Structure 1
Amino acid sequence: MNRRHFLLTGLGAGALLGLGGTASARQRVWNPCRAVLPPAIADHDLVHAAWDGIDAARVWDVHAHLAGTGDSGAGIRMNPRMLSPLHPTEYIQRLFYLNAGCAHAAPGRVDQSYVERLHNLADGMRPGFKLVLFAFEQTHDAAGRPRPDLTALHVPDRYARDVAHAHPAYFEWACSIHPLREDCVEALEAAVRDGARAVKWLPPTMGIDPASPACDRFYAALARFDLPLITHAGEEKAVAGAGRPEWGNPLRLRRALDHGVRVVVAHCASLGEDRDEDSRKGGKVASFELFARLMAEPHAEGRLFGDISAIALRNRHTDVIRQLVAREDWHPRLLFGTDYPLPGILPLVSPARLAADKLLPATAVPVLEAIREHNPLLFDFVLKRTLRAGAHRFAPGVFETRAFFDRKTP
């Protein structure tokens, strides 16, 4: 079983559903959603060191999710399975995600409280910091028809746009458009006019084969607007959908690169295995290995990037984290992202494990854990700024992502 899938279903089930979980277990699983950092933590040397040499106005979190239940009437939809204890996997995932976003205790205003919490967390960063908030397209079938029955979560473009426009000091937004929609190019043009900074895909969930010729007209439009595509690659178990797992293979992104699209591989494909489509044997290899192969291809220079969201989750091999930190030649092509709200799900990231593997100093562990209880965004930023692989650390440019979203095409 996928370890992330296990953590979101088994580890916290007792505590969340009251099925025998102790108070201490709940404390280890349930985010306390505390507010302002205590002065001793806010002024800690570790926090100051994380911001040292960084221009906060150039730090954009390139991977942040909007979520909710749809109670705002703004169009968010959750699959009914996520609302029913009869489907424990989806039900518990929803509880975790909303708790991580501190929206679990606000019946009737979950959508609003999720955004308010994001606003507060961004306010707890240095001035100028922003998040790129993702819309999330619903699943479509091969004919380009929407399939709400197979969609776990739908966050419409207009919702992400309106949230970002309401709080321009803190938020930018990324649209999410299925390339098989008949109106996909028109929808992209509208999103560009409305200030979208990128397009977000999760191919296996949304029902997108990135290697299909049917995507070509959308790729051509992306290249024309020079709008980056931020797309998941590697294994995905957290969100159900109608697609096929092999559509997350990093090698299937070559078609987008060949069209001149700037592609950001979410999480650097750091989880799972995919078929080696370049080999006649076709055996499976680590998805991260296929990502590394793409990074080395000449035509990918200046077009292929990776975001470092989710790389510190428990289900990632620490050798992958070590490689990412040590590959300084990659750093100009790596982008800081948190995959919010995941950093707020306590069981998913273990600073102590990273310290045991010599990626963090042991003294950083209690400070990071204290930060996480108050501000998961700051927790993720400080953790990644503190990561070490021998003498290597992530370069400041990995975090100063603002310029990446400047388009050559007006």
Structure 2
Amino acid sequence: MNRRHFIIGATGAAALLGAGGTALARRSLWNPCRASLPPDIAGHEVVRAAWEGLDPARVWDCHAHLAGIGDGGSGVTITPRMLSPLHPTEYFQRLFYLNAGCAHEAPGRVDQSYVERLHNLADGMQTGFKLMLLAFERTHDAHGRPQPELTAFHVPNAYARDVARANPAYFEWVCSIHPYRPDCVEALEGAARDGARAVKWLPPAMGIDPASPACDRFYTAMARLGIPLITHAGEEKAVHGAGQPAWGNPLRLRRALDHGVRVVIAHCASLGEDQDEDRGRSGPRVSSFSLFSRLMGEQRYAGLLSGDISAINLRNRDVAIIRLLLEQEDWHPRLLFGTDYPLPGILPLVSARQLARERLLDPAAVPVLETLREHNPLLFDFVLKRHLRSGQRHFARGVFETRNFFDRKPA
């Protein structure tokens, strides 16, 4: 089941909630957005064990989304389809995302409420922990012109920067710049001066072909400045744009890697299929993860290619991929912790019980994790991933201590 179909099913139930659905459905689908953790959970051995051996000041969540509707002067925009019940998929996606971020019942201050909730969640982590907040560029055409009518949502760089500057104890920020823009290099240099830690892309949605020569000057500047690229690869249907699905193929990132850009493939390309372009234009379709694995196995990219583990625990992922990531210990120095917040706050998307049934999680941890998620989805995702096991193997400490990766490393 892909993410789009899963969310459609969940949001169909959300429509019932809006009409006064059952309390049971509300408990299973709707984030209750509870406040501080009960003391017995905050001090529970499952939670304490997750932090053991880690320096919290080195634990940065490298994949956390800013969201909103633009009601607070943020410059955030969303497609009108997300505001209209005539487009139920997009409409209920918005409701679920904002509920996950606990900003769904804040008319006139949705943007502010979303950031306040992020601040509160980060405050519930160990001192020193930070979130890397992602800007999100507009869709652009082949000439580098913005296409707002084809943009699902836009989070400006200035907004991500200002939120991070206002709360430096909790937040860093990641810029998002379209490489076809005439001013892309100047924009990147400005973002670097303003403290951006990385660049975020979602190629099919933004209209970016990572293998296009049009990206070369941007890649050259990224390598010169030592700024990494965090980019989605594999299937993505939750966000629409003007690009081609093939532009999410992990193999198309070779062009960036060959320029010396450090590339982080989001979610380790753990969803969907892509064409095996190494076998020609008519190459077979294979799992996107297998193409990510191929790139990880190429020695020339050993110091350049990484993957983040955000969203690998969603119910629409193959648990065999989680097992492989846990067992492939030589990859662990190249894996980075991320949550893909607010997704951990969408209750139907993650099942600790399912992971326990698959013997990837101790069943005794499940009740603690379920309570954690109702209060702090960030802590829930972190604790869950710290406790994932395949036999005796688990993610190494360095997977979670991501801080040093985001220091500037000019090629």
What is the CA deviation profile of residues 114-155 of structure 1, one whole-angstrom value per residue up to 9, with x for unaligned ones?
A: 000000000000000000000000100111110000001000
CA apart distance, 1:19 = 5.0
Distance 1:385 1:74 in 2: 34
Q: Which structure 1 residue ranges, 5 or more long, are not aligned?
A: none
Secondary structure of 1:306 counterpart: strand
Distance in 1 of aligned mates of 2:351 and 2:15:
20
- Residue 179 of structure 1 aligns with which residue? 179
Letter in 2 for 1:114: Y
**Secondary structure of the residue that 1:12 maps to in structure 2?**
helix
Distance 1:119 1:20, change over 3 A: closer
The question of whether the paired residues in 1 share the 8 Å contact of 2:2 and 2:271 is answered with: no
Query: Using the alignment, how far apart are the partners of 1:28 and 1:6 within structure 2?
Result: 18
Q: Distance in 2 between matches of 1:178 and 1:406?
A: 22
Give the structure 2 partner of residue 290 of structure 1: 291
Instruction: Check whether the contact 1:15–1:22 (CA below 8 A) recurs between aligned residues.
Output: no
Aligned to 1:137: 137
Structure 2 equivalent of residue 6 of structure 1: 5
> Hey, what does 1:403 align to over in structure 2?
404
Distance 1:20 1:314 in 2: 27
Q: Within the alignment, does 1:73 sit opposite 2:73 as a pair? A: yes
Determine if the alignment matches structure 1 residue 89 to structure 2 residue 89. Answer: yes
CA contact (8 A) 1:276 1:284 kept: yes
Contact 2:132 2:173 in 1 (8 A): yes
Q: Distance in 1 between matches of 2:182 and 2:67?
A: 26
Identity percentage of aligned residues: 73
1:219 maps to which residue? 219
Work out the CA distance in 1 between the residues paired with 2:187 and 2:79. Answer: 24
Give the corresponding residue for 2:42.
Answer: 42
Q: Is the 8 A contact 1:16 1:26 kept in 2?
A: no
**Aligned-partner residue type, residue 23 of structure 1:** A
Q: How many angstroms apart in 1 are the aligned matches of 2:2 and 2:319?
A: 14
Name the TM-score, length of structure 2 as normaliser.
0.98
Partner of 1:116: 116
The one-letter amino acid paired with 2:2 is R
User: Aligned partner of 1:271: which letter?
Assistant: L
Distance 1:362 1:293, change over 3 A: same
Structure 1 stretch displaced more, 19-28 or 318-327: 19-28
Residues 75-108 of structure 1, C-alpha deviations (whole Å, 9 max, x = no match): 0001100000000000000000000000001000
Aligned residue runs from structure 1 range 304-323, under 5 A: 304-323=305-324
Residue aligned with 1:243, SS? coil
How far is the alpha carbon of 1:74 from its aligned partner?
1.9
Deviation at 1:217, TM superposition (A): 0.2
TM-score (norm 1): 0.98
Aligned letter for 1:29?
Answer: L
* Corresponding residue SS for 1:380: helix
Aligned length: 409
Q: Tell me by how many angstroms 1:331 deviates.
A: 0.2
Instruction: Tell me what 1:55 maps to.
Output: 55
Where do 1:11-410 residues align within 5 Å? 11-17=10-16, 18-19=18-19, 21-280=21-280, 281-409=282-410
Per-residue CA distance 1:36-80 (angstroms, 9 max, x = gap): 000010011100110010110000000000000000112000110
SS at match of 1:116: helix
Counterpart amino acid of 1:358? R
Separation (CA, whole Å) in 1 of partners of 2:354 and 2:11: 19
Range with bigger deviation, 67-76 or 16-25 = 16-25
CA shift, 1:298, in A, is: 1.4
Query: For residues 276-306 of structure 1, what are the alpha-carbon distances to aligned partners after superposition, in whole Å with 9 as ceiling and x for unaligned?
Result: 0011451100000000000011111110000
Give CA-to-partner distance per residue, 1:201-259, whole Å, 9 cap, x none.
00000000000000000000000001000000000011111111000000000000000
Question: Whole-Å Cα distance in 2 between the matches of residues 62 and 15 of structure 1?
Answer: 30
Could you list the structure 1 runs, at least 4 aligned residues long, displaced by more than 4 angstroms after superposition. none
CA offsets per residue over residues 147-201 of structure 1, 9 Å max, x none?
A: 0000010000000000000000000000000000000000000000000000000
| Amino acid corresponding to residue 324 of structure 2 in structure 1 | Q
Give the C-alpha shift of residue 13 in structure 1. Answer: 2.1
| 8 Å Cα contact 1:235-1:245 kept in structure 2 | yes
Distance in 2, matches of 1:361 and 1:192, equals 43
Say which SS state the counterpart of residue 230 (structure 2) adopts: strand
Q: Aligned Cα RMSD in Å? A: 1.1
The offset of 1:21, in angstroms, is: 3.3
Q: How many angstroms apart in 2 are the aligned matches of 1:198 and 1:404?
A: 10
Partner Cα distance (1:55, 1:159) in 2: 29
Q: Quote how far apart the aligned CAs of 1:359 are.
A: 0.2
Kept after mapping to 1: 8 A contact 2:175/2:191 = yes
Q: Give 5+ residue unaligned stretches, structure 2.
A: none
SS of 2:149's partner is helix
Tell me the distance in 2 between the aligned counterparts of 1:98 and 1:340: 11
**AA matched with 1:338:** T
Structure 2: how far apart are the matches of 1:267 and 1:16? 29
Residue 5 of structure 1: how far off its partner (Å): 1.1
- One-letter amino acid of the structure 2 residue matched with residue 402 of structure 1: R
Letter in 1 for 2:7: L
* Distance in 2 separating the partners of 1:226 and 1:325: 29
Q: Is the 8 A contact 2:223 2:410 kept in 1?
A: no
- Report the Cα distance in structure 1 between the residues aligned to 2:213 and 2:14, rounded to whole angstroms: 47
